[in-house]
Amino acid sequence: MIRIDSVTKRYPDGTVAVDRLSLEIPDRSITVLVGPSGCGKTTTLRMINRMVEPTEGTILLDGKDILRQPVNTLRRSMGYVIQNAGLFQHRTIIDNIATVPRLLGWSKDKARERARELMERVGLDAALAKRYPYQLSGGQQQRVGVARALAADPPVLLMDEPFSAVDPIVRKGLQDELLRIQEELGKTIVFVTHDIDEAVKIGTMVAVMRTGGRLAQYAPPAELLSDPADAFVEDFLGADRGVRRLSFFPSTGLELTMAPVVTADAGTERADTDAEFLLVTDADGRPLGWTEPEGLGGNGRLLSYGRPFVVGTDSLRAALDCAVLSPTGWAVAVDTDGKVAGVVSQQTIAEAIRGAHARGLTDAKVAG
Ligand code: ADP
């Protein structure tokens, strides 16, 4: 949908902010531009809605050169969200969100109705509608910013460090909300951040840029983590990329066993296993803790079962983490009701990781 074709931006003072950048930005997905401060991310984003004009090269939207379209029509098709939300301080929340529909000539009632609908969509309490921006928390203001950008239902959303000014917990909430909204609405989102973890979490495609406005690598996040193009990208990705990559592989295929799982009323009978540890559950099958077989039925203290992972929802990374944290080295798998689905050893998880790795390499080859 958006194609950036060998675009260069040289500012009047001679600064080359973006250097011969080419990117195909896929439809209905989130493309993240990430890189250190000053590497040309914001300039790139602003060239897409013509707040900045390229010096060389072309940008195509649906195959048409954006420079040949009236700038107002172009911007109407692109919502724009910035850091600190950039709300109009003298307008109420509902009127902030209704801004673009009003500009487009909608009646006040219709625009406000649409604004209320969007407040709900981005997780804002309707009671906030009549407040002013200064009466909202940073995270709430950012949600208003997203709602305002979505008000006229543009196919494209440009987001410039939208979540950078809020604390990590609020930020995680906003990221999750964006992913949920995106699942419902399927916009074409271009998202700028300097935070590689944010990029890896929300990006369908991630463009890593380096100082001087050059593209270092453009790939899906799992590929970035497995095959960084060079030392710069590897450095920028930071530590633990192998473990982080596991979050892209589901835990579904793990071979679970119920053999060492017993209910609390199993008495002194040994479970049908020679396992070193048994997992004790309550009558409903919820985990209580680990015990050595000799401790069954007695008053022996149970060892913590740690944090279980949810089969089918959680990734191999979560499963591995559970096994590493478990006092027995075995991870506990539960279903969505919290009932034990089985247990799995570190060794079995390691085998699954090797399998996932092999599949990952095959995928990379197919994609390449
Ligand atoms: P990023 O968003 O990655 O931090 P920017 O796109 O904001 O980077 O900036 C890229 C480079 O262009 C930086 O060196 C910055 O100082 C420079 N720059 C940005 N805007 C202007 C401008 N209006 N005039 C001159 N240089 C600019």
Determine which residue's CA is closest to atom 15 belonging to ligand 1: 38
pLDDT by position in tens, the chain (length 368):
899 999 999 999 999 999 999 999 999 999 999 999 999 999 999 999 999 999 999 999 999 999 999 999 999 899 999 887 789 999 999 999 999 899 889 999 999 999 999 999 898 999 999 999 999 998 999 999 999 999 989 999 999 999 988 889 989 998 999 999 999 999 999 999 999 999 999 999 999 999 999 999 999 999 999 999 999 999 999 989 989 999 989 898 899 999 889 888 766 555 566 788 899 999 999 999 998 887 776 666 889 888 899 998 999 999 999 999 999 999 999 999 999 999 999 999 999 988 877 776 555 444 33
Q: Are 145 and 161 in contact (CB under 8 A)?
A: no
Other beta carbons within 10 angstroms of residue 209's beta carbon come to: 26
Question: Residue 4 has what DSSP assignment?
Answer: E
CA distance 151 to 158: 14
Would 362 be classed as within a structural domain? no
Residue 40 Cβ inside 6 Å of ligand 1? The answer reads yes
CA distance 65 to 74: 11
Task: Tell whether 223 and 271 lie within a shared domain.
Answer: no
- Cα 40 to averaged position of ligand 1 atoms, centre (Å): 6
| pLDDT score recorded for residue 225 | 93
Residue 15 Cβ inside 6 Å of ligand 1? The answer reads yes
* Residues facing 82 on adjacent strands: 160
- φ, ψ dihedrals at 47, nearest 5°: -70, -25
Determine which residue's CA is closest to atom 5 belonging to ligand 1: 40
- Domain range for 16: 2-245
SS3 158: strand
Q: Are 322 and 308 in contact (CB under 8 A)?
A: yes
Task: Tell whether 91 and 209 lie within a shared domain.
Answer: yes
Would 364 be classed as within a structural domain? no
Domain end among 245, 269, 290: 245
Would 255 be classed as within a structural domain? no
- φ, ψ dihedrals at 144, nearest 5°: -65, -40
Q: Are 228 and 237 in contact (CB under 8 A)?
A: yes
Task: Tell whether 26 and 141 lie within a shared domain.
Answer: yes
First vs last C-alpha separation in the chain: 21
- Cα 352 to averaged position of ligand 1 atoms, centre (Å): 45
Element (H, E) at 188: strand 188-193
Determine which residue's CA is closest to atom 22 belonging to ligand 1: 11
CA distance 88 to 97: 10
CATH code at position 176:
3.40.50.300
Task: Tell whether 339 and 199 lie within a shared domain.
Answer: no
| pLDDT score recorded for residue 357 | 73
Task: Tell whether 227 and 321 lie within a shared domain.
Answer: no
Task: Tell whether 208 and 101 lie within a shared domain.
Answer: yes
Task: Tell whether 322 and 174 lie within a shared domain.
Answer: no
Q: Which of 254, 260, 308, 270 is nearest to 286 (CA)?
A: 308
